[in-house]
Chains A and B, each alone.
Chain A
Amino acid sequence: MTLAFLTAWAGAVPGYMTPLLLASIGLILCERAGVLNLGIEGIMAGAAMAGAVAALAGLQPARALAAGTGAGLLVSVPFIIAVVVFRAPMIPAGLALVAIGLGASGALGRAAAHKNFAGLGNVGFPEALTGLPLVGRMLFAQDAVVYLALIVAGRASFVLFRTRAGLQLRAVGEDPATADASGVDVQLHQLAACIVGCALIGLAGAYLSVVGSRTWTEGMVAGRGWIALALVVFAQWSPLRAIAGAAVFASADALIPRLQTLGVDVPVYLLSMLPYVLTIGVLVLFAALGWHRQGEPGHLGRAYIRQDR
């Protein structure tokens, strides 16, 4: 492997990493408040479609991203109301959201499919920086959202672990009865977490079309939402560890097509199993060591009503 290959590979990693990171931070916020959001794939699909439609309509990339984010949030609203207000079982409600998001984006976006648009360019760092061997492209030849995602990760971690609101949010996911008894509004916190979380997931979806492929095709989310779900477990529900997790998953994603173009004969599909198998392995390892409760919100996926106390 030459230096040029490594530089190009490293340069491609952030583009793969950013949507995974944003989506998993969104999930972490929901799950830390106790809401298991299996609808992520549908939210991302809706956001990707809306972002592309907005960009094709001539909106600036930043606005197209915002439009996609808003669409992701909009498609999540029925889910959020169902699970937070009506305490609907979260797993089927999430799967329903997947169907609604995938179905609606497929139906509404047909006119926008396979059309290219300009998309978001890179931040203009000087040649001296982007031209650095190995790390130049990875660190400096990137779009603004890449840096934004890292800031969001830091910010989310700070809010979750260093502020009163974050403590209350985690308390709601860990032990809603105790949180409730101490005067924390369980539903309000879940609502806030879901709104911010689903918006971030929406941004991740919009990134895929507006920045990543700069075109929209049906099914382009292609399981990234499911990967983000795995990543959350991998990162033990911590936004900062999600950066590392997303980097690992993205490196694998960026490597496989590169190996193919190099003419290396690898069983691509078997290699692509690695992130999934690795995550199961990590789950098993943590469980066997008795660690799997670390970080996992104690009341994740279960509805809470005050009378349960």
Chain B
Amino acid sequence: MLERVTLERRATAPFWLSVATYLGAVLFALGLSLIILTATGVPRDALFQELVMEVFFDRDGLARTLTAATPMILVGLSAALCLRLKFWNIGIEGQLLLGGIFATTVALYDIGGAMRLPVMMLAAAAGGALWIALPLLLRLRLGVSEVIVTLLLSKVAFLLLQHMVFGPFRDPTHNFPSSPVLDAVERLPRLGFGNVHAGLFLALAAAGLCGLMVHRLRFGFAANLTGDNPDAARSLGFPTVRIMVVVILLGGAMAGLAGGVVVAGTEYRLTQQIGLFATFNGIVVAALARNEPLAVPLVAFLLAGLAVASGSLKVFYGVSEGIILTIKGVILLSLVTAQFFTTFRVTLDRTGTTERAA
């Protein structure tokens, strides 16, 4: 099949081609999404208003978008850091949930006194790192694929969360399964702009530090090399295993921190919903940001706008939230499919490839 098409792997893609492929994929996905949205009953002239003006240029909308972007930056960083080392972290949701559970534990048991909030955030990061440590260990020690293990641990974390909110953490004054509400000192301070809270600074600082690490530090250089070509990095004398451990644990910590930020910044309690689609969001953000930590905040901001828009689309036009999930899926699929043109050089071969293969 397709005998006349010859593919060759490109060593590097020209800059213009990368840009064209990326933009082409995004525009294709956006075009398709707009068609889907109009087909589901959103009037065409309302699209710009709902998807752009309301969520990025309206005061309340912008505040909601920034609030939604905060955990998305962190899960995006988690995916990007892991992917830079070709580690498929399909368990971001689990790491986030552990972070949320750890932060809630610190809050409910009043650990840390005056330092409560920093301790909560540290515990959240530690929870995320802990939940990625086992798949990392199995991958490094036994060569077990991290894809299945992170995925399974994600489900284990969700069951643990359910156990906590239905059991030990259950708030008896509530009908919904959730932990009791956090005290004032256990909440990330609001910035006086809607529900935007100090977690946004945490997330931006994390993105900045990751960017600094990747672009400016010797360690980051070694990490990039380890991701691109582990054999070369090893033979050059870089401690590839140690690099891998540090970066991946950091990736888990980012996801954990996202859990802590959601609990202490927006929900003020542990609920069943805090990790919904976190893995997928992280992978989409990382794919759109092309694993570049400094691009993660912008991408997360734009995707958060989409999430916020889905709320008003639902209220005003009866568009299900599922549509937004579909649109994100279309964007991701379009992006990874378009990589074809930057990964391979395609030539149409009229003589067939049989001679060449011999």
Given contacts A86-B337, A95-B280, A103-B322, contact A223 B155 (CB under 8 A): yes
Tell me, in angstroms, the Cα distance from A309 to B353 when the chains sit together. 13
A79 lies within 8 A of B333 (CB): yes
Known: A87-B344, A95-B280, A97-B329. A292 touches B337 (CB 8 A): no
- For B49, what are the chain A residues with a Cβ–Cβ distance below 8 Å? none
- Pick from A97, A105, A187, A306 the residue with the most CB of B within 10 Å: A306
Instruction: Say if the beta carbon of A165 comes within 8 Å of chain B.
Output: no
Nearest chain-A residue to B143 (Cβ)?
A287
Closest 6 CB pairs of A and B: A106-B322, A99-B329, A103-B325, A103-B326, A107-B322, A287-B142
Q: Which of A19-46 contact B (CB under 8 A)?
A: 36, 38, 42
B44 touches A (CB below 8 Å): no
Task: Check A273/B160 contact, CB under 8 A, given A87-B340, A229-B148.
Answer: yes
From B147, B166, B333, B344, residue with most partner A Cβ within 10 Å: B333
Which residues of B, 312-334, contact A by the 8 Å Cβ criterion? 319-330, 332-333
B340: A residues at CB distance < 8 A: 86-88
- Name the residue of chain B whose CB is nearest to the CB of A106: B322
Cβ-defined contact, B339 with A88, below 8 A = yes
A-B interface contact total, Cβ < 8 Å: 166
Query: Can you name 15 A-B residue pairings with CB atoms under 8 Å?
Result: A95-B280, A95-B329, A97-B329, A97-B333, A98-B280, A105-B322, A107-B319, A107-B320, A226-B151, A230-B148, A230-B152, A267-B167, A276-B156, A283-B144, A287-B143
0/1 per residue, A265-287, Cβ < 8 Å to B?
A: 00111101100110110011001
| Number of B residues, CB within 8 Å of A | 56
Shortest CB–CB separation between residue A63 and chain B, in angstroms? 25
- Bitwise, A74-109 to B at CB < 8 A (1) or not (0) is 000011001001111101110111111011111110
Residues of B bordering A, CB below 8 Å: 1-2, 6-9, 40, 88, 90, 134, 138, 142-144, 147-149, 151-153, 155-156, 159-160, 162-163, 166-167, 277, 279-280, 283, 287, 319-330, 332-333, 335-337, 339-340, 343-344, 353, 357
Q: Do residues A273 and B159 form an inter-chain contact, with CB atoms below 8 A?
A: yes
